[in-house]
Amino acid sequence: MGTNHLQLVSDTKGRPVMAQHRTSCNECSLSPVCLPLAVSVDELDELEDIMRRGRPLKRGEHLFRASDPFESVFAVRSGAVKTYALSEEGEEQVTGFYLPGEIVGMDGISTAHHMSSAKTLETSSVCEIPFTRLEELSSKIPSLQHHFFSLMSREIQADRELHMLLSKKSADDRIASLLLSISARQQRRGLSAHRIRLPMSRYDIGNYLGLAVETVSRIFTRFQQQGMLAVEGREIEILDRESLCGNGRLRA
């Protein structure tokens, strides 16, 4: 529970330190925000048994591809992952960004095939969790079942937020909202809330938010001119949180 040695895993640069794939959930700094939070100490072993920790993945490697058979979900340990789908014409649609402690791949349960692809945005390590094993375990551990329902529910909620963002909000608000979201998620892991490092390109941001790259770029520049941000490539400092929120009356 009360683990206080956060930051064992180097993170700012996404470099994997030592042989992470031998680390157990117990020792993982993310356990308070990841799956283990739903299980008691003695149940944790069972969960550990079914998880597979792979080698660190290099930037651009795939966790899975659309139409791969659906077998597992993945917990991000370090680095960052994006999911995307290809439309009929082959253009990419980025559907989500996943940071450490978050679970990727929960679409695909219904179809037995993944409906999107997932690739790393930088060097990352992930834990693979075979889904049928997880289902079996969930039947035995009600809190785990509930936690998993809860995770999926949260995913749906996030999508609804995004829906509102895309259908009602200006380009400015979309960018502001994404920054605030990433800031909040970093903070949850014990990192700075006002200094953030974006793991994704401007292209990915634009694609995700339904904006042209040029628009994204222009907005970053303008936010900086207005003194709301200090932008240095993918390193962002939030200087005026008020304005960033108030801009479009976004939360927190």
Partner DNA sequence: CGGCTCATTGAGTCGAGTCAACACCCGTGG
Partner DNA sequence: CCACGGGTGTTGACTCGACTCAATGAGCCG
Residue 201 site contact among a second copy, DNA, none (CB < 5 to 8 Å, cut-off depends on kind): DNA
Pairing between β-strand 117-120 and β-strand 62-64 as defined by DSSP bridges: antiparallel
Contact status: 150 vs a second copy (CB under 8 A)? yes
Q: What's the rounded Cα separation, in Å, for the pair 131 and 153?
A: 17
Residues in 229-248 that interact with DNA by CB under 7 A: 231, 233-234
Q: Which of 208, 238, 2 is nearest to 96 (CA)?
A: 208
Name residues contacting a second copy, limited to 200-219 (CB under 8 A): 207-210
Q: Please state the closest distance from residue 217 (CB atom) to DNA, in A.
A: 3
User: What are all long-range contacts of 179-182, with beta carbons under 8 Å and residues at least 24 apart?
Assistant: 179/229, 179/236, 179/238, 179/244, 180/241, 180/244, 180/245, 180/250, 180/251, 180/252, 182/97, 182/99
Q: Answer left, alpha or beta for residue 133, where phi above 0 means left and psi between -120 and 50 means alpha.
A: alpha
Judged by CB under 8 A, the residue of 50, 66, 109, 230 near a second copy is 109
Residue 15 or 154 with smaller CB distance to DNA: 15
Residue 188 CB, shortest distance to DNA, in Å, is 24
Q: Which of 76, 78, 81, 79 is nearest to 62 (CA)?
A: 81
Could you say whether residue 74 binds a second copy (CB under 8 A)? no
226 lines the binding site for DNA (CB under 7 A): no
**Does residue 242 belong to the site contacting a second copy (CB under 8 A)?**
no
Q: Rounded to the nearest whole angstrom, what is the least distance from the CB of residue 234 to DNA in the complex? A: 6
The least distance separating DNA from the CB of residue 4, rounded to whole angstroms, comes to 33
CA distance 183 to 175: 12
Single out the residue of 27, 45, 136, 214 in contact with DNA (rule: CB under 7 A): 214
Decide: helix, strand or coil at residue 243: helix
Q: Is 108 in the site for a second copy (CB under 8 A)?
A: yes
Residue 166, contacted partner among DNA, a second copy, none, CB below 5-8 A by kind: a second copy
| DSSP three-state, residue 6 | coil
Judged by CB under 7 A, does residue 170 bind DNA? yes
Strand segments, DSSP code E, in 61-101 are 62-64, 72-78, 81-86, 92-98
146, 163, 203, 246: residue in contact with DNA (rule CB under 7 A): 203
Classify 110 in phi/psi space as left (phi over 0), alpha (psi -120 to 50) or beta: alpha
Residues that bind a second copy (CB under 8 A): 85, 87-89, 91, 93, 95, 106-111, 115-116, 135-136, 138-140, 142, 145-146, 148-157, 159-160, 162-164, 166-168, 207-210, 249-251
Please give the residue ranges that form the binding site for DNA (CB under 7 A): 170-172, 201-203, 210-218, 220-221, 231, 233-234
